[in-house]
Amino acid sequence: MTISSKLFATQMLDQFKLIENRLQNLNTQIATGTRITKSSDAPLDAVTLTARRELEARLEQYQSNAGKVTSRLELADTTLHTVGTPPAGQASSRAAYFALNLAPKSAAVAAPRSSGKSGSMNTACA
Protein backbone atom coordinates (compact mmCIF):
# COMPACT_ATOMS: atom_id res chain seq x y z
CA MET A 1 0.00 0.00 0.00
CA THR A 2 1.49 3.28 -1.00
CA ILE A 3 0.86 6.62 0.59
CA SER A 4 0.12 9.33 -1.87
CA SER A 5 1.81 12.67 -1.60
CA LYS A 6 -1.54 14.40 -1.09
CA LEU A 7 -2.33 12.19 1.94
CA PHE A 8 1.16 12.75 3.30
CA ALA A 9 0.82 16.53 2.90
CA THR A 10 -2.60 16.51 4.61
CA GLN A 11 -1.26 14.52 7.55
CA MET A 12 1.70 16.86 7.90
CA LEU A 13 -0.59 19.94 7.84
CA ASP A 14 -2.80 18.38 10.54
CA GLN A 15 0.27 17.74 12.68
CA PHE A 16 1.47 21.30 12.16
CA LYS A 17 -1.95 22.59 13.24
CA LEU A 18 -1.82 20.49 16.41
CA ILE A 19 1.69 21.71 17.19
CA GLU A 20 0.67 25.31 16.51
CA ASN A 21 -2.37 25.01 18.81
CA ARG A 22 -0.23 23.52 21.57
CA LEU A 23 2.35 26.28 21.13
CA GLN A 24 -0.41 28.91 21.28
CA ASN A 25 -1.75 27.37 24.53
CA LEU A 26 1.74 27.36 26.03
CA ASN A 27 2.24 31.00 25.06
CA THR A 28 -1.08 31.89 26.66
CA GLN A 29 -0.05 30.07 29.84
CA ILE A 30 3.25 31.94 29.90
CA ALA A 31 1.58 35.30 29.25
CA THR A 32 -1.09 34.87 31.93
CA GLY A 33 1.17 33.10 34.40
CA THR A 34 -1.36 30.32 34.95
CA ARG A 35 -1.37 26.71 33.90
CA ILE A 36 -5.15 26.52 33.52
CA THR A 37 -6.45 29.27 31.26
CA LYS A 38 -9.89 27.70 30.75
CA SER A 39 -11.82 25.23 32.88
CA SER A 40 -11.99 22.87 29.94
CA ASP A 41 -8.17 22.62 29.85
CA ALA A 42 -8.13 20.50 33.02
CA PRO A 43 -11.58 20.11 34.61
CA LEU A 44 -10.44 18.27 37.75
CA ASP A 45 -7.61 20.70 38.35
CA ALA A 46 -9.99 23.61 37.80
CA VAL A 47 -12.36 22.26 40.47
CA THR A 48 -9.45 21.76 42.87
CA LEU A 49 -8.19 25.27 42.17
CA THR A 50 -11.64 26.75 42.79
CA ALA A 51 -11.93 24.87 46.09
CA ARG A 52 -8.50 26.12 47.16
CA ARG A 53 -9.41 29.69 46.30
CA GLU A 54 -12.57 29.42 48.40
CA LEU A 55 -10.54 27.97 51.26
CA GLU A 56 -8.02 30.81 50.98
CA ALA A 57 -10.85 33.35 51.08
CA ARG A 58 -12.27 31.71 54.21
CA LEU A 59 -8.84 31.67 55.87
CA GLU A 60 -8.26 35.32 55.03
CA GLN A 61 -11.66 36.19 56.52
CA TYR A 62 -10.84 34.13 59.61
CA GLN A 63 -7.51 35.92 60.03
CA SER A 64 -9.20 39.28 59.55
CA ASN A 65 -11.82 38.40 62.16
CA ALA A 66 -9.13 37.16 64.55
CA GLY A 67 -7.27 40.45 64.15
CA LYS A 68 -10.42 42.44 64.89
CA VAL A 69 -11.19 40.31 67.94
CA THR A 70 -7.64 40.73 69.21
CA SER A 71 -7.88 44.49 68.80
CA ARG A 72 -11.21 44.63 70.62
CA LEU A 73 -9.95 42.40 73.42
CA GLU A 74 -6.87 44.58 73.85
CA LEU A 75 -9.12 47.64 74.06
CA ALA A 76 -11.37 45.92 76.62
CA ASP A 77 -8.34 44.77 78.59
CA THR A 78 -6.92 48.30 78.62
CA THR A 79 -10.28 49.70 79.69
CA LEU A 80 -10.69 47.14 82.45
CA HIS A 81 -7.15 47.73 83.63
CA THR A 82 -7.80 51.48 83.74
CA VAL A 83 -11.06 51.00 85.64
CA GLY A 84 -9.52 48.40 87.91
CA THR A 85 -6.71 50.66 89.14
CA PRO A 86 -8.32 53.79 90.66
CA PRO A 87 -6.28 56.64 92.09
CA ALA A 88 -5.27 56.37 95.76
CA GLY A 89 -8.12 57.00 98.18
CA GLN A 90 -10.87 56.11 95.70
CA ALA A 91 -10.48 52.35 95.89
CA SER A 92 -13.03 51.88 98.66
CA SER A 93 -15.62 54.14 97.02
CA ARG A 94 -15.28 52.37 93.67
CA ALA A 95 -15.51 48.98 95.33
CA ALA A 96 -18.70 50.09 97.07
CA TYR A 97 -20.08 51.42 93.79
CA PHE A 98 -19.38 48.15 91.99
CA ALA A 99 -20.80 46.11 94.86
CA LEU A 100 -24.06 48.08 94.87
CA ASN A 101 -24.59 48.71 91.18
CA LEU A 102 -23.14 45.67 89.49
CA ALA A 103 -24.30 42.95 91.90
CA PRO A 104 -27.02 40.69 90.51
CA LYS A 105 -30.45 41.96 91.56
CA SER A 106 -31.54 38.52 92.82
CA ALA A 107 -28.58 38.37 95.22
CA ALA A 108 -29.32 41.85 96.63
CA VAL A 109 -32.97 40.98 97.24
CA ALA A 110 -32.36 37.43 98.50
CA ALA A 111 -29.67 38.37 101.02
CA PRO A 112 -31.88 40.36 103.45
CA ARG A 113 -34.55 37.63 103.51
CA SER A 114 -32.09 34.92 104.43
CA SER A 115 -30.60 36.93 107.30
CA GLY A 116 -33.41 35.81 109.64
CA LYS A 117 -34.02 39.32 111.05
CA SER A 118 -37.60 40.19 111.68
CA GLY A 119 -38.79 43.73 111.54
CA SER A 120 -36.83 46.06 109.27
CA MET A 121 -35.38 44.79 106.00
CA ASN A 122 -32.15 46.11 104.59
CA THR A 123 -32.61 46.99 100.92
CA ALA A 124 -30.11 48.19 98.39
CA CYS A 125 -31.09 50.87 95.94
CA ALA A 126 -29.80 50.44 92.44
pLDDT in tens, 4-53: 888 888 999 999 999 999 999 889 888 888 877 777 778 888 889 889 99
Cα–Cα distance list, 23 to 12, 31, 39, 90 (Å): 16, 12, 18, 81
Interval 57-68 mean pLDDT: 92
**Residue 12 belongs to what domain range?**
8-37
pLDDT of 120 over the 60 cut: no
Residue 58, in any domain of the structure = yes
pLDDT in tens, 71-104: 898 888 888 888 766 555 555 565 666 666 665 6
Residue 98, in any domain of the structure = no
Cβ contacts of 37 within 8 Å, gap of 6 or more: 25, 28, 29
Residue 2, in any domain of the structure = no
Examine the domain organization and report whether 15 and 46 are in the same domain: no
Q: How many independent structural domains does the chain possess?
A: 2
Examine the domain organization and report whether 55 and 30 are in the same domain: no
Examine the domain organization and report whether 28 and 55 are in the same domain: no
